[in-house]
Amino acid sequence: MTTTWFDETLYPFYRQGIRVDGVLFKGQTKFQTVEILQNERLGRVLCLDGVVQTTEGDEFYYHESMTHVGMLAHGRVESVLIIGGADGGILREVLKHPNVKEVVIVDIDAELIDMCKEHLPLHHAGAFDDPRTINLPGDGAAYVAETDKRFDLILVDSTDPQGPGIVLFQAPFFRNCKRVMKKGGLMVTQNGVSFYQQDELRDAHHHRLEVFKNAGAYLSPVPCYVGAHMAFGWASDSMMLPSIPHATIARRLRQSGIETRHYNPEMHAAYFAIPNNLRPLLAEGHERTGLVGLVKAIASRLGRKAKKAAAKAAPKKAAPRKVAAKKPAAKKAPAKKGAARRSAPKAKAKRSAPKGRAAAKRGTKAKKSARSRRS
């Protein structure tokens, strides 16, 4: 018997392959091709435009670490906005918390939601039928620009920061998220895998820092998102996520009464450790803890504003700006690899502007690509 493989097309130089033990569904929505496959170890596997989105076998790694960190760091979340998340996994985890009164979920692909409802029952577990759920299929970026609603927590279970999804990793979107955030609120976004998508992590982090007082990333590996840790970006005007005491998180988890398969307070703390090779990408955010951090943050903010003004006035003189802003970070945590890659514009250009028909197609086929793709 011949073995059939589903080989992912996320990167040109690397692929993962899932053995196809059955095809449960194959279809096309207005936005993307949808395949739901069966695999002995991973159970049902959802693929969009050639990229693995989520599997029954490992989804709890992703959905729990994305949801509960923000929920418990805040501690009194009543209203949640989910952008993307058609499979319902994030929705299911949010609704576990008894304090939650309302969850608005905005995924651009209404057809995909219906397919997931039918074929991924373990993902949503009936969450779309919960009376607290408001399902508003549509463009997430447009929603945060227009709505009058306000939220304690925004979870962006989005596309990769390339192709049409790129707006969800940029400052204008973050500004609108801030606009619809209640006082004391925060946002958490998926930010790619920390080994293969480092440039995207750095860029999105810097955009979050343009908008919010505090921003950073935390890390948790997810088996089918290959490339060491999955990165989750976070941002808040009032909260410094890594500083919340372990005992507080543990108490809140106990009080919530929820059960988890992966997440626990020790993992929560562990997510915030950043390896040396990633520190330069996140340096500004992670330096900002305690009083020293506060002073540095203010200095950095003033510096950024001054730099922006200077850049506007004389765009040709932007060179010294880089020196002032980036040097201390690079010094602090040596990461030869990362630094080397960042200073190799050729390699980067190759990745972000692939050649040929197949490659061009790939450019718009990113992990989670359809979850909140803009038309």
Task: Using CB under 8 A, pick the residue from 99, 147, 170, 264 that binds a copy of itself.
Answer: 264
CA–CA separation, 265 and 245 (whole Å): 10
Q: Work out whether 261 is an interface residue with a copy of itself (CB under 8 A).
A: yes
One-character DSSP codes across 252-283: HHHHHT---SS--HHHHHHHT---GGGHHHHH
Task: Using CB under 8 A, pick the residue from 23, 273, 309, 344 that binds a copy of itself.
Answer: 273
Q: Work out whether 120 is an interface residue with a copy of itself (CB under 8 A).
A: no
Q: Work out whether 21 is an interface residue with a copy of itself (CB under 8 A).
A: yes
CB of 80 to a copy of itself, least distance (A): 23
Q: Work out whether 262 is an interface residue with a copy of itself (CB under 8 A).
A: yes
Q: Which of 157, 199, 203, 237 is catalytic?
A: 157
Nearer to a copy of itself, 9 or 170 (CB): 9
Nearer to a copy of itself, 318 or 349 (CB): 349
Task: Using CB under 8 A, pick the residue from 165, 227, 280, 285 that binds a copy of itself.
Answer: 227
CB of 43 to a copy of itself, least distance (A): 10
CA–CA separation, 28 and 35 (whole Å): 9
Residue 339 is classified by DSSP as H
Question: Which residues 6+ apart lie within 8 Å of 88 measured at CB?
Answer: 113, 116, 117, 120, 123, 124, 125, 127, 128
**Cα 131–137–140 angle (5° rounding)?**
110
Task: Using CB under 8 A, pick the residue from 2, 13, 312, 315 that binds a copy of itself.
Answer: 13
CB of 187 to a copy of itself, least distance (A): 23
Tokens for 205, please give them.
């982090």
Binders of a copy of itself in range 42-101 (CB under 8 A):
42, 57-58, 60-61
Q: In what order do the strands lie in the sheet with 151-157?
A: 133-135, 102-106, 79-84, 151-157, 181-193, 225-236, 214-222
Residue 106's SS3 state is strand
Strands 102-106 and 79-84, how do they pair? parallel
Contact code string over 184-223 relative to a copy of itself, x by CB under 8 A: -----------xx------------------------xxx
CB of 28 to a copy of itself, least distance (A): 26
CA–CA separation, 99 and 163 (whole Å): 37
Rounded to a whole number of angstroms, the CA Rg of the chain reads: 20
Binders of a copy of itself in range 312-351 (CB under 8 A):
333-337, 347, 350
- Is residue 107 among the annotated active site residues? no
Contact code string over 147-166 relative to a copy of itself, x by CB under 8 A: --------------------
CB atoms within 10 A of CB 349: 10
Closest to 78 in 3D by CA, of 104, 113, 51: 104
Which residue numbers are catalytic? 157
Binding site for a copy of itself (CB under 8 A): 5, 7, 11-19, 21, 39-42, 57-58, 60-61, 195-196, 221-223, 226-229, 259-264, 266-267, 269-277, 333-337, 347, 350
